[in-house]
A and B are shown apart, each in its own frame.
Chain A
Amino acid sequence: MSDTPKEVAENFGNRFGDRVSVGVTQSGILTLEIGHEYWLEVCRALRDEEEFSFEQLTDLCGVDYLSHGLSEWDTEGASSEGFSRGVEGLGPGRFDWADRPESSQIERRFGVVAHLLSFRHNRRIRIRCFAPDDDLPIVASLVEIWNSANWYEREAFDLFGVIFEGHPDLRRIMTDYGFTGHPFRKDFPLIGNVAIRYDLEKKRVIYEPVEIESRVLVPRVIRTDSRYKTDDLDLAADQKAAQIAAEEPAGNPKAD
């Protein structure tokens, strides 16, 4: 890990141009957002080219960005008016199938996120690709490039319904034989759609619509004020900011 994250980020920018967008997250792992039409091409370069040589795909998973950044409980103005009591179970993962939010409000809904590892450079990277179509999410399969993607892509297909084009064996992997729906989508209720039991009279296992109601024990709250900050945290953040500022070339703040 001889290069600083900034230099590495520049490397990626220079090599791939506008096919990728580069961002750094808190933990120092670089995130590359790759356009779906370049997904295979960029990944192949990431594996084969000397300066990247990401030999292993450690992890791949689907993400459903429906309801990202939505909370169930409005806390603004609560100090003057008091909180509302209780929450109806309409938050992410809990709305009824008929009342699910329109996914057209969100720009791109399904993403595929993979983590790569380079043994040679001892470096990790996160790559993400959004499926262009929300109703029929299709992303190219990485099995040809990294064999370990095989089951991870089956899992993402099973749980999110993302279709991987070119996958040799795209079957369900986690859910039951004959399952319908993709359970990790945000509009799939946490309690499920069907319940299964053994019927004494019919003498076989039957499926029925679920009877239980979804509940919210702790409402989902997003707080943008700095309430989780304390002196310790602020101190650490300030030190880090000062450190980053010291690394930047003086008098040239617009370098990147």
Chain B
Amino acid sequence: MAEIRNYTMNFGPQHPAAHGVLRLVLEMDGETVVRADPHIGLLHRATEKLAESKPFNQTIGYLDRLDYMSMMCNEHAYVRAIEELLGIEPPPRAQYIRTMYDEITRFSNHLLWIASCGLDLGAMSMFIYAFREREMIMDMYEAVSGARMHAAYYRPGGVYRDLPDQMPQYNESPWTKGKKLKRKNEWREGSLLDFIEAFAKDVPHKIDEYETLLTDNRIWKQRTVNIGVVSPERAVQMGFSGVMLRGSGVEWDLRKKQPYAMYDQVDFDVPVGVNGDCYDRYLVRVEEMRQSARIILQCVDWLRQNPGHVMLKNFKVIPPTREEMKDDMEALIHHFKLFTEGYCVPAGETYAAIEAPKGEFGCYLVSDGANKPFRVHFRAPGFAHLSGIDELAQGHMLADTVAIISTLDLVFGEVDR
């Protein structure tokens, strides 16, 4: 009798459905997965070690490059940790801006997720639909920070600068002119807040479009329903957070349970799944996009009515403005010290967590009183989610593994750090 053995298959790292640089070693029995062993670390850049060699503020830029789909949310966790150790609290306007941009980021992350997940499972047009809206979100990032992705906008003590009064417009070009130019600039006549409001009011219709493409689509359902089911007990035990937890029916959202920024001032609902399969996670993410639009509109309202500072006036931590430096010696000295040495953070340790789009993004910060962190550790949601893939993928077909990887919402910047 011939001996039948399982064979091993290499999935990635150069595979479009590997979401970056995942190398998955799959042990297969025919087309069924027996064991999945992810090899990670191909994008390891030792961010935590680099942070130990620089003043606190210089690390903010590295945070953008962790989860490069939700840049500002990463910054938020790190900045909050520093603020907690320093014992400072940013002004309310900065807190509202952070809340608004966290939600814009969440929207952008879920948008890209729905695009790439659709692409992985064969729904090509989803990708093109989503990138239409993503462009506007990139413009919101650019208008406020000057960078389309790696913003470095949140700083300890507030945000780097206030929202601009004028939204940049498209110039006429051989490709964009006449009616097309007018349509593209339609929302951009006023301030950034006007643009964000117009976007957030319009976007529920766009989400309806996505749902007509996917929600009742027979192929989509065949690929996702009852695939990668996680029970609530196992989700908790394996360290899942965010949508991976809520999709399984655990009602847990840090924005509600341990509110930070201005989340206790805004009104929103937390969607929860029932079966814990890929389809439920899809539904939860779509509903979260709608809720994000709701929060954004509330923040826009508040920000319109309440002008004010977006940074603390505390020159020991926050650099003074150019104008202040020009006629104040003290301000000049503070500026010099802050940019050559940075500020010293009192000795201690803290853990600041936020509800990032992918789950709980935490920052464990140890300071020994120096101008650089003694140790930082970033708790990336994707790392815990990927560690559970062996259990999720067992017994599924190879093609279902793609659906599972996709709904874990992995980004290797944060998994490998």
Contacts and interface: CB of A to CB of B under 8 A. Distances in A.
A146 B236 CA distance: 9
A119 B315 contact: no
Interface in A118-173: 119, 122, 124, 126, 146-148, 150-152, 172-173
Residue among A122, A218, A219, A229 facing the most chain B CB atoms (10 A cut-off)? A218
A63 B375 contact: yes
Interface string B288-330: 0000000000000000000000001111110000000000000
B201 interface: no
Contacts of B89: 236
Nearest to B45: A174
B40 A174 contact: yes
Given A122-B257, A147-B237, A174-B416, A61 B377 contact: yes
Nearest to B359: A58
B203 interface: no
A20 interface: no
Interface in A32-78: 55-59, 61, 63-64, 68-69, 71
Contacts of B387: 148, 150-151
A63 B366 contact: yes
A80 interface: no
Interface string A213-256: 00001111111100111101100110010000000000000000
Given A69-B369, A237-B87, A26 B348 contact: yes
- Chain B interface bracket (under 10, 10 to 19, 20 to 34, 35 or more): 35 or more
Contact of A27 (B314, B343, B351, B372): B351
Contacts of A58: 239, 241, 353, 360, 362, 379
Residue among B349, B383, B386 facing the most chain A CB atoms (10 A cut-off)? B349
Nearest to A92: B52
A235 B238 CA distance: 43
A57 B362 CA distance: 13
B250 A119 contact: yes
B340 A230 contact: no
A25 B349 contact: yes
Contacts of B343: 228
Nearest to B365: A27
A181 B16 CA distance: 33
A222 B342 CA distance: 11
B371 interface: yes
Contacts of B345: 228
B262 interface: no
B4 interface: no
A8 interface: no
Residue among A26, A59, A61 facing the most chain B CB atoms (10 A cut-off)? A59
A138 B252 CA distance: 35
Q: A interface, by DSSP: helix, strand, loop or mixed? A: loop
Interface string B349-373: 1111100000010101010111110
B370 to A, nearest CB: 5
A115 B378 CA distance: 12
A175 interface: yes
A93 B351 contact: no
Nearest to B52: A93
A60 to B, nearest CB: 9
B168 interface: no
A122 B362 CA distance: 16
A107 interface: no
Contacts of A176: 41
A115 B364 contact: yes
Contacts of B49: 93, 183-184, 190
Given A26-B350, A150-B387, A221 B341 contact: yes
Given A69-B369, A122-B258, A236-B87, A113 B364 contact: yes
A222 B344 contact: yes
A173 B41 contact: yes
B384 interface: yes
A109 interface: no
Nearest to B44: A174
A56 B89 CA distance: 29
B46 A183 contact: yes
B53 interface: yes
B374 A68 contact: yes
Nearest to A225: B344
A87 to B, nearest CB: 12
B85 interface: yes
Interface in B362-417: 362, 364, 366, 368-372, 374-375, 377, 379, 383-384, 386-387, 416-417
Contacts of B362: 58-59, 115
A55 B345 CA distance: 32
Contacts of B313: 232
A46 B150 CA distance: 40
A93 B371 CA distance: 15
A210 interface: no
B138 interface: no
Nearest to B352: A27
A61 B387 CA distance: 15
Nearest to A169: B37
A26 B84 contact: yes
A104 to B, nearest CB: 19
B314 A232 contact: yes
Nearest to B368: A69
Given A27-B84, A174-B44, A232 B312 contact: yes
Nearest to B85: A26
25 contacts: A25-B350, A31-B349, A55-B237, A57-B239, A59-B379, A61-B364, A68-B374, A113-B377, A115-B364, A119-B252, A146-B237, A147-B238, A151-B383, A173-B40, A175-B41, A218-B341, A218-B372, A223-B369, A228-B316, A228-B317, A230-B314, A230-B315, A232-B312, A233-B87, A240-B87
Interface of B: 40-41, 44, 46, 48-50, 52-55, 84-89, 236-239, 241, 250, 252, 257-258, 312-317, 340-353, 360, 362, 364, 366, 368-372, 374-375, 377, 379, 383-384, 386-387, 416-417
Given A94-B53, A221-B341, 7 more contacts: A26-B87, A26-B348, A26-B350, A148-B239, A220-B372, A223-B344, A232-B314
